A and B are shown apart, each in its own frame.
Chain A
Amino acid sequence: MLKDEHPQSLLEVSGLTKHFGGAQALRGVDFDVRAGEVHCVLGQNGAGKSTLIKTLSGAHQPDSGEIAWQGNVVTIANPVAAIQLGIATMYQELDVVDGLSIAENIFLGHEHATAGLVRGRETKNAARALMTRLGHGDLSPSREVGTLSPANKQIVSMARALSHDIKLMIMDEPSAVLDSQEVNNLFRVVKELTSQGIAVIYISHRLEEIERIGDRITVLKDGRSEAAGLAVKSTPTRELIALMTGTDIDHVFPPRVPLDPAAPVLLEVDSLAAGSRFRDVSFSVRAGEIVGLAGLVGSGRSEILETIYGERTATAGTVTLAGFKLKAGSVTTAVNHDMGLSPEERKTQGLMLEEPIYRNATLSTFTRFARGALLNERAEREATSEQMRALELRPAEPNRITRTLSGGNQQKIMLARWLIHGTKVLLLDEPTRGVDVGARMEIYGLIRRLAAEGTAIVVVSSEIDEVIGLADRVLVIADGNVVAERNATEIDEHGVLDLVMKGSAA
């Protein structure tokens, strides 16, 4: 109803440029957003997406170029000005206060108050109305936000945006912290917003999401709008990847390598269980093989990896690594027997962000380089440089602080750690979270290459198509049980979801 025949642009951006010191972040961005549409902005890390968002939300001022809002050229001096215009931004790092209630969070900074006293009932009612509008009327406005899941925190963040009279909502990788079910819910909310005439600028690395909810796409590359306002329906994924990376790519996933029938079993998991999290998990992985665990968040897939690794203590069953039965609940034993884990949360569980790259790369091996208790940092740096070159991680500066690397490069450091270690069994939990499309394909290629060199690999991902595309064999997990085991070529995403549903019902 609100989408009229000749939609006029709500937002029109032309010739936007911005530099920071010597770095040119934006070199000329042109695109327009119409009321009620989902406009996807795609681009690799460093393409200028963040700078563009920050410029539109008033956090940065452009060097040149124009921003027209409802036909008038405007200057968005600061975030408050953006909200007054009707532009709200939902950042990746959610800006909710855990200790406050849902209602208090929604009206943070513009409370319903008389002379400093908050009018509680009015606030709660208004909050409930906004949450209902987003399809979450069931959450009590007085509930503390710290008790909510990341998905629901997002909803609160959106409700806060809606508490202002907004016409455009910018979402920066909202699905990065969500699993498939929660993503479905997010999409419902996005549809809800657009049906009310609100436009959404949607940033994501996941191309399949864009196909599902996007109306039009703008692709950024090297700070320029490489293509603007492409219709999603008529633009094949392949073309998008080509636009984004500047190269034509035939396949996202590397080709599978036929498994040597004589390849030894490196990892054998037998009747493994951990309390109520999962039970009776048995599978084996041979040298050169990639096994994927597919399932929803909460299915127990990450817990299975953690238990194999010893980070979580098994209550039953055994893990055998190249013939050696591992001690339950001992990460050190696992590492000493050449098993490695790249954890789900790279930044909080995997890396020392303020340390130089080489110290992260050698975190599991620095004692090996050392002579007795004496560190040999030179050898550590050399080994790191060598791996960085092999992983095409440029510039190969092992002294660089890890925090300054992109998500994809940080993931490569995690791989480098276990490459230097020489692991026989590698467990990968969400290997491409927060990694852009180009780097993703590189990481897929690396994982396949590692397998081809004789490593046994187990992959867990919330993106089911990633598990299927990467793995040779897929175990479907539902409610802590392995409900099916299939060759990856014999199953697709729908097949997995069907099995999950059946498994959960059983």
Chain B
Amino acid sequence: MSEPTTITPAHEPVAAGNPNAARRFFSSAAGRNIGLVIALLVLIVVGAVTAGEDFLSLKNMLVILRLASVIGVVAIGVTFVITAGGIDLSVGSLLGLCSVVASVTAVQTAASGFWPLMIIVAVAVGLAVGFINGWIIAYGKVVAFMATLAMLVAARGAAELISQRKTLIVTNDGFKDFFRTEPLGISIVVWIFAIAAVAAWFLLNRTTFGRRTVAIGGNATAARLAGVKVKRHTLYLYMLSGAAAGVAGIMLMSRTTAGTSTHGQLYELDAIAAVVVGGTLLIGGRGTIGGTVLGVLLFSTLTNVFTQNNLSTSVQLVAKGVIIVVAVLLQQRFANREGSATTT
């Protein structure tokens, strides 16, 4: 038997950019969600046929991406929580709260010389609320569903109190100018989404943080008994989700040039739907950022196709519901097949 001693890695760590890593990226995200890719392609064909040139234009594609960005960032944060077997229902309200706090007169005045302060404030509010969520869940042992449902209600109320139910107009020019820039012709908001997605993929798949997340979702008791600090990590996960909601709040503020308590209403459901349709298991233990991104793109493309064809939002909601159910049914089918193939 080998010596049970501390092991020093004998090989260079896999560089993020090498072809091996790229191949694994496709096999884990796009590969596993091949059904999603097909669905997205079908939707694009439908859009192209029904709405023609307008739909396929670069401009429209960028519209779809911008539409996806805010929910996308929220969904990325939620992916971590769900992968660890939790749930965060508070993200939509929290998004609103972050946008309100970042755009109150006091903050905007203070930020007049240094506009990124607004971003810092929004993210700080997200982190703080996430900390409260995480603390109640990890140390107070309250079921995540209830704890974050309570926060959903409370954060919306807090946002209304602070804004006095008024829409707070963003007057800070530095902020507005920054979000008006379009590097390489692509909106800053889309860039944020893209960067968040890549960073999140890396965090979930390549770091010890990601491994802890998956391990807790896979079997929290086993993780704890192997020495993983499950409570502390749970706290971090809700803070991450809160911070993502804060960033999304800023993104929505930049688009509407306003902060309001109604920002982000029902975003938690859209985000969770995108995460689950993307292939992350609601019971935890398996999470995919690529899937989440695809899920968000699927829904925003759907919205766009309906808008382009001047169809009512009601029809769109029904279609969305159908897609969610079909996607989950298909996933289960695939999951079962995979299961029987590996059983000996």
Contact = CB atoms under 8 A, between A and B. Distances in A.
Asked whether A and B interact, the reply is yes
A355 B4 contact: no
A253 to B, nearest CB: 19
Nearest to A449: B1
Contact of B222 (A352, A369, A379, A390): A352
A374 B285 contact: no
B206 to A, nearest CB: 6
Contacts of B223: 352, 363
Contacts of A355: 214-215, 218, 285
Contacts of A23: 344
Contacts of A367: 208
Interface residues of B, number: 36
A368 to B, nearest CB: 7
A371 B9 contact: yes
B225 A341 contact: yes
A387 to B, nearest CB: 7
Interface in B177-231: 206-211, 214-215, 218-219, 221-229
Given A349-B225, A355-B218, A453 B14 contact: no
B344 A375 contact: no
A223 B214 CA distance: 38
A123 interface: no
A66 B207 CA distance: 57
Given A332-B229, A341-B225, A379-B9, A374 B214 contact: no
B227 A335 contact: yes
Interface in B268-285: 285
Contact of A376 (B13, B224, B285): B13
A374 B5 contact: no
Interface string B1-36: 111111101110110000000000000000000000
Contacts of A354: 218, 285-286
Contacts of A335: 226-227
Interface in A362-401: 363-371, 373-379, 382-383, 386-387, 390, 400-401
A58 to B, nearest CB: 20
B343 interface: yes
Contacts of B10: 379, 382
A341 B7 CA distance: 20
Interface stretch (A1-9, A195-203, A413-421): A413-421
A84 interface: no
A414 to B, nearest CB: 9
B6 A422 contact: yes
A373 to B, nearest CB: 5
Nearest to A400: B342
A331 B286 CA distance: 25
Contacts of A382: 10-11
Query: Quick one: which of B7, B209, B224 has the most chain A CB within 10 A?
Result: B7
A311 interface: yes
A350 B218 CA distance: 11
Contacts of A386: 2
Nearest to B207: A373
A359 interface: yes
Nearest to A311: B225
A341 B207 CA distance: 25
A113 B211 CA distance: 53
B1 A390 contact: yes
A363 B9 contact: no
A423 interface: yes
Contacts of A351: 219, 222
Nearest to B232: A332
B221 A349 contact: yes
A404 B215 contact: no
A373 B224 CA distance: 19
A348 interface: yes
A423 B4 contact: yes
A378 B12 CA distance: 9
A36 interface: no
A289 to B, nearest CB: 17
B211 A368 contact: no
B5 A331 contact: no
Contacts of B4: 419-423, 453, 455
Contacts of B210: 375
A300 interface: no
Contacts of B228: 332, 363-364
Contacts of A352: 214-215, 218-219, 222-223, 285
Contacts of A350: 219, 222, 225
A92 interface: no
Contact of A349 (B3, B7, B218, B222): B222
B219 A383 contact: no
A387 B4 CA distance: 10
A343 B228 CA distance: 15
B84 to A, nearest CB: 12
Contacts of B11: 376, 378-379, 382
Given A348-B219, A349-B221, A352-B218, A417 B226 contact: yes
Contact of B13 (A359, A366, A371, A383): A371
A353 interface: yes
Nearest to B211: A366
A336 interface: yes
A366 B7 CA distance: 10
Contact of B7 (A331, A359, A368, A423): A368
Interface string A17-57: 00000010000000000000000000000100000000000
A334 B7 CA distance: 19
16 contacts: A336-B227, A341-B225, A343-B225, A350-B219, A352-B214, A352-B218, A355-B285, A363-B223, A364-B227, A366-B208, A374-B13, A379-B9, A379-B10, A419-B4, A422-B3, A422-B6
Given A367-B208, A419-B2, 9 more contacts: A341-B225, A349-B222, A352-B215, A352-B222, A364-B226, A368-B7, A374-B208, A378-B11, A419-B4
